[in-house]
Amino acid sequence: MEKEALMRYKKWLSDPSISKEDKEKLRNTDDNELQDAFYKELEFGTGGMRGIIGLGDNRMNLYTVGRASQAFANYINKSVGGSKSVVVSYDTRHMSPEFAVETAEIFAANGIKAYLFEDFRPTPILSFAVRLLKATGGVMITASHNLPKYNGYKAYWSNGAQVIPPHDEGIIQEYKAIESFGEIKRTPIEEAKKQGLIQMIGKEIDDVYFKKALSLSFHEADPSLKIVYTPLHGTGIKIVPLLLEKDGFRPYIQESQGIPDGNFPTVEYPNPEDPKAFKLSIEDAKRLNSDIILASDPDADRMGVMVKHNGEFVRIDGNQMGALLLNFILDKYSKDGMPSNPIVIESIVSSKLFAKIANSFGVEVVEVLTGFKWICNKADELRKSGKHVLFSYEESYGYNIGDFVYDKDSATAIMLTCEMASEYKKRGMTLVDVLNEAYKKYGYYFESQFAPVFEGEKGMDKIDFIMDSLRKNPPSEFAGYKLNKVTDYIQGVRDIPPSNVLKMEFGGNLMIYARPSGTEPKIKFYIMVMDFERKKDALSLLNRAKNEISKIVSAV
């Protein structure tokens, strides 16, 4: 082991708060695994703290979760006066219930009331509960769509959005200040319940959420629309089918994936962005002659869509769904009465078609950094200034409609997607037809990603090296287009905070963003081709650009 990792490892072995059993496990772990488990501490990224389950500072375990909860409690007690409370929820992953109970017990021991969900719940319900209960903050135990070996910890502030500066920075400082796990306070759950410091919650929160979501309905539900829904073994089973039924639909639930299971046994990767995750649902949809397939990821904040078009099931990607939902919502408002000061939000790496559609309706567009913590905190700021935020999205199937959830919300987005599909089905159109109409009207816009994985300490070094190389020597020409502008977000751009993102513009039709992921060991390249009259020209450039990026990364 390298010196720093060895130092952290020895500190664990000497800490009396680490159990004898866990110390013995560490002693029996090989050096390569120990190096990865101790070479750094988990940090808060775009989605909070996320890592592989196991022992070590760079792992998700009861000790690091306990440390994060103690740090969050310390920060709340130092920065907020009066009575304080947090809401704690968790997904269907391994160790999620244990991490959630641990979190609630620590807040209780620090005099902060914990509202703990009695069973797993989706991320949007956690965000909604923070706002409904007027809590000081919230914690969601989830690793979203990551592989089964991962789990995570997302911290929320009183507005129901994930923490951003100064709160995340304050929590991190408190985390670093905890030198021993012995500093973590705990009150056992049963004792805390008796003291009124832990209160179990559940269905009563769901019921209010359903009322809020249904208030956004355009009443286009048609029971004849044949829907297959899969929660991919995750938390969506708690709310999506019920919401669709309350709206007037009759969804079919993919049977095996409707069973909550942290192993995600029927999918390689529980991600609705991955077409392979739809395999079983497609089989059901063909058998049932269904019109549309919808999926949510394990914590049910993101959704994915496939629709039957010309007898085949066609995937509609996250950017395309953002454009379709935006067009549907703004068209409805334009006919029924557009709210005053309308505005929509997208992330910087999302499709530029979104802005073109919004502007055609006279609606202002705001861009923010990747991550719904930036989107929803910006929405909060805009609403306080008198703006009416109608819709927010990012390319990875994340959508938010309304003002009651301050994070991605798959259930409400799925409900409106089904309403949209219902309306167009009556006109003899699929969502693919609607998308093609939009392309003919606004031009062809296509996007793709290249996201190589570089795991471990060496992987982080590789990602840093690639970003540094692009900053110092961006390609002067790409896929036949000359470089005309580079924007480096590392120092901040306009009112966007500093972030490790590089944007390169080639001609007027090609744009590439490079950005290390905040939640996975990846560097992400977002490729955008824009404003083409012919589909084949746009797709040809997209493919050439993706191939060239792959060659550049391989050569670095």
Which residue numbers are catalytic?
144
Torsion of CA 469, 473, 474, 477, to 10 degrees: -130
The amino acid sitting at 477 is E
Buried b (16+ CB within 10 A) or exposed e, 202-213: eeebbeebbebb
Residue ranges of the alpha helices (H) in 277-430? 279-288, 318-336, 353-360, 372-384, 410-426
Residues 366-396: b if buried by 16+ CB within 10 A, e if exposed: bbbbbbbbbbbbbbbebeeeebbbbbbbbbb
For residue 45, what are its two tokens? 């990224």
Instruction: Detail the DSSP E strand segments found in 362-494.
Output: 364-368, 388-394, 398-401, 444-450, 477-478, 481-488
- Asked if 327 contacts 353 with a C-beta cutoff of 8 angstroms, the reply is no
Asked if residue 278 lies in contact with residue 306, where contact means CB atoms within 8 angstroms, the answer is yes
171 phi, psi to nearest 5 deg: -65, -40
Is the peptide bond prior to 166 cis by the omega test (within 30 degrees of 0)?
Answer: yes
The CB density around residue 192, as the number of other CB atoms within 10 Å, is: 22
Structure tokens at 204: 């009563």
Say if CB 103 and CB 157 are below 8 A apart. no
- CA 213 vs. chain centroid, Å, equals 19
How far from the centroid of its chain's Cα atoms is residue 165's Cα? 18
Distances (CA, A) of 27 to 23, 30, 41, 63, 139: 6, 8, 19, 17, 32
Return the structure tokens found at 362.
């006279």
Which residue from 401, 212, 228 is spatially nearest to 324, judged by alpha carbons? 401
Strand order in the sheet with 342-347: 364-368, 342-347, 388-394, 398-401
